[in-house]
Amino acid sequence: MRAPTMRHLGDVIPLPASVRPDASADFRIPADVTVGAAPAAAAIADELAGLLRRATGFPVPRAGEGGSVRLLLDDEADGGKSPESYRLDIAADGVTLRAPTAQGLFAGVQTVRQLLPVEAAAEVVLPGGRIEDEPRFPYRGTMLDLARHFYGPADVRSFIDTIAQFKINHLHLHLTDDQGWRLEIEGWPRLTEVSGGAGTGIDGAGPGFLTAREYTDLVAYAESRFITIVPEIDMPGHVNAAQLAYPELTCDGVPVQQRTDPEVGYSSLCAGKEETYAFVEDVIRVVAALTPGPYLHIGGDEALNTTAEDYRTFLTRVLPLAGKYGKRAIGWHEMAAVDLPPTAIPQYWRIEPADDGVARAAAAGHQVIMSPADRSYLDMKYDDTSPLGLDWAGVVGVERSYDWDPADRLPGVGEESLLGVEAPLWSETLRSLADVEFMAFPRLLAIAEIGWTPRAGRDWQSFRRRLAEFGPRLAAQGVNFHRSPEIDWR
Contacts to ligand ACM by CB under 6 A = 301-302, 332, 349
CA torsion 456→462→464→467, rounded to 10°? -100
Q: Which amino acid is at 267?
A: S
- Single out the catalytic residue among 302, 334, 352, 449: 302
Question: Can 302 be counted among the known catalytic residues?
Answer: yes
Distance CA 33, CA 347 (A): 46
Distance CA 470, CA 110 (A): 14
Q: Is 297 helix (H, G, I), strand (E, B) or coil?
A: strand
Distance CA 365, CA 62 (A): 47
73-88 burial: b if 16+ Cβ within 10 Å, else e: beeeeeeebbebbbbb
313-344 burial: b if 16+ Cβ within 10 Å, else e: bbbeebbebbbeeebbbbbbbbbbbbebeebb
Whichever of 97 and 147 has its CB closer to ligand ACM, that residue is 147
Prior bond of 14 cis (ω within 30°): yes
Smallest distance from the beta carbon of 234 to ligand ACM, in angstroms? 9
Distance CA 368, CA 413 (A): 8
Distance CA 17, CA 23 (A): 19
List all residues 6 or more positions away from 128 whose beta carbon is below 8 Å from its beta carbon: 9, 21, 22, 23, 24, 25, 26, 27, 90, 91, 92
Distance CA 273, CA 256 (A): 17
Smallest distance from the beta carbon of 57 to ligand ACM, in angstroms? 47
Tell me the helices (H) and strands (E) count for the chain, helix number first: 15, 18
Instruction: Give the chain's end-to-end CA distance (angstroms, integer).
Output: 22
Q: Is 461 helix (H, G, I), strand (E, B) or coil?
A: helix
Whichever of 301 and 310 has its CB closer to ligand ACM, that residue is 301
Distance CA 192, CA 256 (A): 16
Strand (E) positions, 85-174?
86-91, 94-99, 125-126, 129-133, 139-145, 170-174
Whichever of 203 and 302 has its CB closer to ligand ACM, that residue is 302
The catalytic residue positions are 302
